[in-house]
Amino acid sequence: MRNKKSFSEGRIRQVGLSLKSLHTRTTGRDLGTGAIKALEPQDAEKLFEHPADQLITRLDLGLVEQLGRSIQAIEGAVLATVKKLPDYQVLQTMPGVGRILGMTITLETVDPKRFASPGDYASYCRCVDSRRLSNGKKKGENNGKCGNKYLAWAFVEAANFAQRHDAACRRFYDRKKAQVNGIVATKALACKLAKAAWHMMSQNTHYDAGRIFPKVKMNK
């Protein structure tokens, strides 16, 4: 199902770029991505004067509508199945994780117990540093593309949402950002969330901020 959805989304991007290019070539004006997303097939006459350009635009926008409905159908079918899985249910209690990220993490993880430790899982999620150190000095980097790119994306997205909407995650992010930078701080929070997700899915337990951030208990 992921491949079908990725194909549909990729095709929508291609159609959008094609329409944007056609508009620039024929009118000399730029058509923003937001404006393209808001267009409907009947808007073709407003964009172009030539009938051929109008026809191409109507067909392209009609295709975008059909692909959009296909994506919704795929997501609905996947969600109906995933909602019954325990891993999806417990992941919904984690800050930053909603419907799409919950589906992604659940389906891409498959079985959390196939990873020996939370560190192994975080590594698979590309949430750990790939540098090789010797005597405290950097000697090179491991293959940063090892692991699962979809889980890497999911936990970084979760970290971005969590640091904006969860107080404990925000405090952790702010401390890290003061030491390094925003990108590294986000990756560090993503690693924390990935390790927490491993425990939650392995033990079928809800998110506990006091376990991922021990100082939370002290501050209460």
Instruction: Round the average pLDDT of the chain to a whole number and report it.
Output: 86
The H-or-E segment that residue 134 falls in is: strand 131-134
pLDDT of residue 143: 46
How far is the C-alpha of 195 from the C-alpha of 120, rounded, in Å? 9
Q: Is the full-model pTM beyond 0.75?
A: no
Interval 84-108 mean pLDDT: 95
* Percent of the chain whose pLDDT exceeds 90: 52
Task: Work out the angle between the directed axes of helices 99-109 and 182-203 (0-180°, nearest 10).
Answer: 70
**Which of 65, 6, 71, 9 shows the shortest CA–CA distance to 38?**
65
Listed in sequence order, the residues at least 6 apart from 164 whose beta carbon sits closer than 8 Å to its beta carbon are: 170
In order of 23, 76, 109, 164, the CA distances from 79 in angstroms are 37, 5, 16, 26
Q: Band the pLDDT of 130: cuts 50, 70, 90.
A: low
Q: Band the pLDDT of 34: cuts 50, 70, 90.
A: confident
Between 47 and 156, whose confidence is greater? Answer: 156
**Taking 60 as the threshold, does the pLDDT of residue 218 lie above it?**
no
Residues β-bridged to residue 132: 140
Q: Band the pLDDT of 133: cuts 50, 70, 90.
A: very low
pLDDT of residue 200: 97
How far is the C-alpha of 203 from the C-alpha of 11, rounded, in Å? 40
Interval 22-36 mean pLDDT: 84
pLDDT of residue 156: 97
**Which of 75, 60, 82, 65 shows the shortest CA–CA distance to 4?**
75
**Taking 70 as the threshold, does the pLDDT of residue 50 lie above it?**
yes
Interval 193-209 mean pLDDT: 96
Residue-wise pLDDT for 55-92, tens only, equals 988 988 888 888 888 888 988 898 899 999 999 999 99
133: phi then psi, degrees, rounded to nearest 5: -115, 150
Domain boundaries, given as residue ranges, for the chain? 2-82, 86-219
